[in-house]
Amino acid sequence: MKGLNLALGAAGLAAFLLLGEAVPRLGLVKEAYFPPTSRIAGALGDELADSAFWTALGDTLTGWAVGLAVAACAGVVAGVVISVVPYLREATASTIEFLRPIPSVALIPLAVLLYGTELRSVLLLVVYASFWQILIQTLYGVQDVDPVAEETARSYGLGTWARIRYVLWPTALPYVMTGLRLAAAVALILTITAELVIGAPGLGARIAVAQTSQAVPDMYALVVVTGVLGLLINVGARSVERRALAWHQSVRGEVAV
Amino acid sequence: MRRFLLRLVFVLTLPVVLLAVWWAASDSSTDVYWPPLRTILKTFPDVWTADRLRTDALPSILRLSAGYATAAVAGVALGTVIGSYRRVRAVCEPVLEFLRAVPPPVLVPVIMLFAGIGHTMKILVIAIGCVWPILLNTVEGVRAVDSVMAETARSYGVKGFARLRHVVLPSASPQIFAGLRQALSIGIILMVISEMFAASNGLGFTVVQFQRGFAIPDMWTGILVLGLLGFLLSVVFQLVERRVLGWYHGLRATTRRSR
């Protein structure tokens, strides 16, 4: 069954690539706008051989990783503090609901003025955008704590820190992991966006350069690279999630029996 | 009454405190990039006149709605088809996963090749960027239709459009709305970016224009407008969601009661 699905998926992918080859060759769209798959693949090969490409990839990954790490730490700490301190949750709810939907790209002009094309202007956008994903998930997760477990821990005289460590954190972890997975995708989008629009060094800036210099196959090749990067980050985040929560399922299983 | 007042205090305290802090901290600011909040608020009505709202905010919102609506219709329709047939799903899944993984903003330069820099380009960018979360969530939702419900409908001979209308779509709607919510924030991002790239009007264009002209307080008002727009759209979305899914939950509740 799984083998069949895999084969069908591969067939779908092959058909997609073939379509990409055939449509421009048959003249359905202009080759200048949409080069056939083989030419994109060729351009991709050239890119991979170019050391500037790897520098750009490194820049993009640095922006992504640093931004995500800062947002994750800040989001988790803020989420736990907000939920542990009495009344803080009610007091912050309206502000969080207001700030969260503000599109992070609105900050682009400010980032440009403050930091120009430095890494810091990428980080400003990435951290702002991914912070909310993690904060909200952490808040949901802490809310999910079983009141009986919480009361039990309290009556056994566990201090605040111990309760956070042994009661609150294990319950919240699955939610935090979901937040981290969402934030990883958002962080990549914002990293590339910042590079594309602001011109901070990285894959996005390379795409912008390829576009203005009419290097169409290169532009497509770079777009494919960003897609593969997104895919890898997605798969990676899922496997981290599964590994970090391996104990969780087993704990759940024991309780259910 | 007391409870209501208490809630009001909770809702309002922090925003008021934050605004007060911003006001006080920036009041004597001479830093060009951080003008006093007083100045920003004073500039606001001068910049965002009814005329400017009509020439800049309105086109942005219209493009966003056109792109988003296209994405919603296409995503739900295609997602329903793909989700209903196991084989089709197996064939399409890897390609869809890849297309979703491409960060949507890189679509802007690609689609500029095809569609130039006019309205079509922006609407297309928004539509193509928004469609993936809606499409994939619809596929998941349609796939996860309750098997008892599906079998019951089958044995009563509910087929075709009626089945779609009364069985499949209602039970997939919570998932579909999750996708629509993700798509909304992507849509706003794409609206702003496509206007920053190449445009002669729109909110993104105006804000960048202020920034390039070093009209810093004006730029700040633009950021505030974008923030308010994001907030308003998310409120509207929540209202719509509560109405649509409320009907769904209500229906579920009544069937449960009458059982």
Average the pLDDT over A78-107 and give the result. Answer: 85
Per-residue pLDDT at A250? 45
Query: Nearest CB to A98: which of B13, B15, B197?
Result: B15
The CA distance from A173 to the nearest CA of chain B, in Å, is 22
Q: What percentage of chain B carries pLDDT values higher than 90?
A: 23
pLDDT score of B251 more than 80: no
Work out the minimum CA distance from A80 to partner chain B, whole angstroms: 18
For helices A88-99 and B2-27, what crossing angle results, to 10°?
Answer: 60
The reply to whether residue B207 touches residue A106, judged by beta carbons under 8 angstroms, is yes
Rg over CA atoms, chain A: 23
Report pLDDT for A53: 93
pLDDT tens, A23-75? 888 888 888 888 899 999 999 999 999 999 999 999 999 999 999 999 999 99
What pLDDT is recorded for position A253? 42
ipTM for the complex? Answer: 0.83
Range 196-215 of B in CB contact (< 8 A) with A: 196-197, 204, 207-208, 210-211
- Which residues from chain B sit within 8 angstroms of residue A1, using beta carbons? none
- Work out the minimum CA distance from A157 to partner chain B, whole angstroms: 31
How big, in percent rounded to 5, are the helix, strand and coil portions of chain B? 85, 0, 15
Determine the residue among B106, B111, B126, B132 to mutate to test chain A binding: the one whose Cβ has the most chain A Cβ atoms within 10 Å. Answer: B106
Put simply, the chain B residues between 74 and 103 with a CB less than 8 A from any chain A CB are 87, 90-95, 97-103
Average pLDDT on A13-28 reads 87
Which pLDDT score is estimated for A41? 93
Which residue, among A30, A50, A84, has the nearest Cα to A221 in the 3D structure?
A50
Judging contacts by C-beta atoms under 8 Å, the chain A residues touching residue B87 are: 8
| Chain B residues close to A210, C-beta within 8 Å | 109
Q: What percent of chain A has pLDDT over 90?
A: 39
Determine the residue type at A181: R
Q: Are residues B192 and A227, on separate chains, in Cβ contact within 8 Å?
A: no
How far does A145 lie from chain B, in Å, by closest CA? 23
- Which range of residues forms the domain containing residue B90? 56-258
Candidate ranges A20-29, A219-228, B11-20; pick with highest mean pLDDT: A219-228
B231 in reach of chain A (CB within 8 A): yes
Q: Which of A9, A12, A103 sits opposite B188 (nearest CB)?
A: A103
pLDDT at B258: 57
B116 shares contact with chain A (CB less than 8 Å): no
CB A193 to CB B109 under 8 A? no
- A254 pLDDT more than 60: no
CB contact under 8 A, A94 and B33: no
DSSP string for A138-152: HHHHHHTS-HHHHHH
**Of A9, A93, A109, which has the smallest distance from its Cβ to B90's Cβ?**
A9
pTM of the prediction? 0.87
Which of the four pLDDT bands, split at 50, 70 and 90, describes residue B249? Answer: low
Taking the CA of residue B222 and the nearest CA in chain A, the distance in Å comes to 8
CA-to-CA distance for B254 and B240, rounded, in angstroms?
21
The string of pLDDT tens digits covering residues A151-173 is 888 899 888 888 888 888 888 88
Predicted local distance difference test score (pLDDT) of residue A256: 38
Q: Which residues contact B167 (CB under 8 A, 6 or more apart)?
A: B145, B149, B150, B153, B158
Nearest to B68 by CA among B236, B239, B242: B236
Q: Which amino acid is at B206?
A: T
pLDDT given for residue B257 in this prediction: 59
Distance from C-alpha of A139 to C-alpha of A175, rounded to nearest angstrom: 9
Distance (Å, whole) CA A121 – CA A99: 19
The residue extents of the domains of chain A are 35-247
pLDDT of B255 higher than 70: no
What pLDDT is recorded for position A209?
Answer: 92
- Interface A-B: count of C-beta contacts within 8 A: 160
B230 at interface of A, judged by CB pairs closer than 8 A: yes
Position A77 confidence tier, pLDDT thresholds 50, 70, 90? very high
Half-sphere exposure of B2 (CA within 13 A, CB side): 0
Interface test with B, best of A18, A128, A196, A198 (most B CBs within 10 A): A196
pLDDT band at A255 (very low <50, low <70, confident <90, very high): very low
pLDDT at B54 over 70: yes
Tell me which CATH code domain A35-247 carries: 1.10.3720.10
Classify residue B233: in a domain, yes or no.
Answer: yes
**CA distance, residue A254 to nearest chain B CA (Å):** 27
Rg (CA), chain B: 23
Q: In this structure, how many other beta carbons lie within 10 angstroms of the beta carbon of residue A3?
A: 7
Residue A230, classed as helix, strand or coil, is helix
What pLDDT score was predicted for residue B26? 83
**pLDDT higher at A109 or B32:** A109
pLDDT at B27 over 70: yes
Task: Report the CATH number at residue B199.
Answer: 1.10.3720.10
Q: Is residue B154 part of a domain?
A: yes
Residues of chain B positioned with their CB less than 8 A from the CB of A16: 95
Is residue B26, in this structure, part of any structural domain at all?
Answer: no
- In the prediction, which pLDDT does A1 show? 61
- Res. B36: pLDDT tops 90: no
The domain total for chain B is 1
Q: Mean pLDDT of all residues in chain A? A: 87
Residue A158 DSSP class: -
- Locate the chain A residue with the closest alpha carbon to B92: A12
Closest partner CB to B109 (pick from A107, A219, A234)? A219
Nearest to A106 among B10, B108, B227 (CB): B227
Per-residue pLDDT at A19 exceeds 60: yes
Q: Averaging pLDDT over each range in A36-40, A95-99, B37-41, which range is the top one?
A: A36-40
B176, part of any domain: yes
Partner residue opposite A227 with nearest CB, options B92, B101, B113: B101
User: How many Å lie between the alpha carbon of B169 and the closest alpha carbon of chain A?
Assistant: 25
> Which residues from chain B sit within 8 angstroms of residue A188, using beta carbons?
103
For residue A4, the chain B residue with the least C-alpha distance is B90
Note whether A105 contacts B189, CB cutoff 8 Å.
yes
Query: Distance (Å, rounded) from C-alpha A226 to C-alpha B208?
Result: 26
- State how far the alpha carbon of B242 is from the alpha carbons of A137, A143, B51, B73, B257, in Å: 21, 22, 34, 20, 21
